[in-house]
Amino acid sequence: MLEVSNLACNRGDHRLFSGLNFTLNPGQIMQVQGANGSGKTSLLRTLCGFIAPDEGDIVWRGEHIRDLDGDYYAELLYLGHLNAIKDELSALENLRVSAGFSGVEIGEKEAMAALRRMGLRGRELLPAKVLSQGQRRRVALARLLVSDARLWILDEPLSALDVGAVALVQELIAEHLARQGMVIFTTHQPLQVAGMEMRSLSLS
């Protein structure tokens, strides 16, 4: 489904990584590992098509992602290490707006249900600026519940989360994989998905 061959990326005069080769098939999950500055976020953004690789190819369903345009992005959900939410908007508004930017129109009822499952009951209409860091992260993660994307690319999804929220994210990932979705992620915290073999890619 996703094929990466001979991928390389530079930052200025510094080569972050080179010669990366891997495939990811439906129902598979892969963790990108490496020290700070090794290029983990750059790799994820390259896989999303936000950064052009200096060498190599990224192929989705047999076609290079540069030739797919919106067809690739319709099947991709990227969650960065920043929450990308607006302080002045409520949790509900943030979720509906972010989903809309991804081409997914969701109603208020569906958005409210997603926020409540993420542990935000009673906070759906509060402006994001009054929420804690963990609650703001839950707002961002609620996108996982309303997306039809096949491929999830998650940069530090567990950041600022408590134990209960970490368990919920693991549950959501397990459900996505059971539907033959795919996940590529980075994290500095342990992430375990029951019954799934965790592949790893090390940038060193």
The number of helices, as runs of H, and strands, as runs of E, in the chain is 7, 9
pLDDT range class, residue 103, cuts 50, 70, 90: confident
- The residue among 35, 39, 33 whose CA lies nearest residue 14 is 39
* Secondary structure class of 47 (helix, strand, coil): helix
Pair of tokens at residue 7: 């991928």
Can you give the pLDDT at residue 190?
81
Could you tell me the end-to-end alpha-carbon distance of the chain, in angstroms, rounded to an integer? 26
Compute the mean pLDDT over every residue in the chain, rounded to the nearest whole number: 93
* pLDDT greater than 90 at residue 204: no
**Contact indicator for 44, 155 with CB cutoff of 8 Å:** yes
Burial class (CB in 10 A: 0-12, 13-18, 19+), 73: middle
Pair of tokens at residue 27: 């129902």
According to the 3-state scheme, what is the secondary structure of 104-166?
Answer: CCCCHHHHHHHHHHCCCCCCCCCEHHHCCHHHHHHHHHCHHHHCCCCEEEEECCCCCCCHHHH
Rounded to 10 degrees, what is the CA torsion of 29, 35, 38, 41? 50
Q: For 64-102, what is each residue's pLDDT tens digit?
A: 998 987 889 889 999 998 899 999 999 999 999 999 888
* pLDDT greater than 90 at residue 177: yes
Phi, psi of 139 (to 5 degrees): -60, -45
Pair of tokens at residue 123: 């906070």
- Quick one: what percent of the chain has pLDDT higher than 90? 80
